Amino acid sequence: MGLIIAVALHWGQFLALFGAGTAKARFDLTWKHQQLAVTYIAAVMIVIVLFELLPYL
């Protein structure tokens, strides 16, 4: 499922891997232009702790 989502978000680059499309394949790692909000990251971490780690205790 994760692969399908990544391909859907970057369709032009997916086609470029096979020589199709107009874009050139890029293999560089870059930072996101819009960083995630700190409150979003904190909320995700809290949910992970509550629903993934606490049940094992």
Residue 24 C-beta-side C-alpha neighbours within 13 Å? 1
At residue 53, the pLDDT reads 87
At residue 54, the pLDDT reads 87
In whole angstroms, give the CA distance from residue 12 to residue 19.
Answer: 10
- For residue range 22-51, what is the model confidence (pLDDT) as tens digits? 899 999 998 888 999 999 999 999 999 999
- For residue range 2-14, what is the model confidence (pLDDT) as tens digits? 999 999 999 999 9
Q: Is the pTM of this model over 0.75?
A: no
- The DSSP code sequence of 1-57 is -HHHHHHHHTHHHHHHHTT-SSSPP-------SSPPPHHHHHHHHHHHIIIIIGGG-
Cβ atoms of residues 20 and 27 within 8 Å: no
Residue 17 has pLDDT above 90, yes or no: yes
